[in-house]
Amino acid sequence: MIVDDHPLFLQGLRKVLREAEDIVVIGAAQDGEQALLMAQELTPDVVLLDINLPSMNGMQVARLLKADLPSVAIIMLTAYHDENQVLHAVRAGASAYYPKDVTVDTLLEAIRQVNEGLYVIEENILSKPELAEWITERFEEIGAFWEGVEDMFMPLSGREMEILQLITRGMSNKEVALQLSISHQTVKNHMTSILRKLAVNDRTQAAVYALRKGWIRLQDTDGELGAPE
């Protein structure tokens, strides 16, 4: 199944995959909510998932997909490629991660590999124990420079992502609490967790981080960054 909100890219990818005799495209969705409903109905073996989606980003979708369909293999496709993002994607449930300029042959082979229960990280084909070792090594490499490195690469929870999206729209903590029908203190606690996980100092940096990574789209925001708490 393919999930991407750019019709031209989605159609091109669908056409390419249809030419592979051993791969069948059973569905295509253009936003996260539609993808979750479609996946529940079609139970795909592999999902090609864009990170930058309207309403719900690919990290959120991946986490919810894996909760509903633990056996599904997810390949993240994105224009925002860096090692930190790879770790976020893996922790969210992805089996592979590629920039959108990936070659057709590479993507087809990755689909076959993840369908066999393997992981494709930085062009390396890994088993689950090998993936755990790779993650540990990355933590150790960065651990000398960051405190709480485990939290740094832990995906944000669904509630944390909701709050991050609202503060990116310019809402204060009190406004977020009212919007989500939760207490002001609960919002503050979530914000503390968000800042720790993203290794940033304040809400404005958190919002900019999310925008740069494609977790939140500019067109989804309608306010100013850095509203007071």
- Element containing residue 40 per DSSP (H, E): helix 32-42
Q: Is 100 helix (H, G, I), strand (E, B) or coil?
A: coil
Q: Which domains does the chain have, with CATH numbers?
A: 2-140 (3.40.50.2300), 156-220 (1.10.10.10)
What is the rounded CA–CA span in Å between residue 89 and residue 94?
5
Residues of the chain predicted below pLDDT 50:
144-153, 223-228
Which tokens in the block code for residue 209? 């981080």
What is the rounded CA–CA span in Å between residue 222 and residue 101?
30
CA count, 13 A, side-chain hemisphere, 1: 26
In tens, the pLDDT along 1-53 reads 999 988 888 999 999 998 899 999 999 999 888 999 999 999 999 999 998 88
Cβ count near 181 (within 10 Å): 6
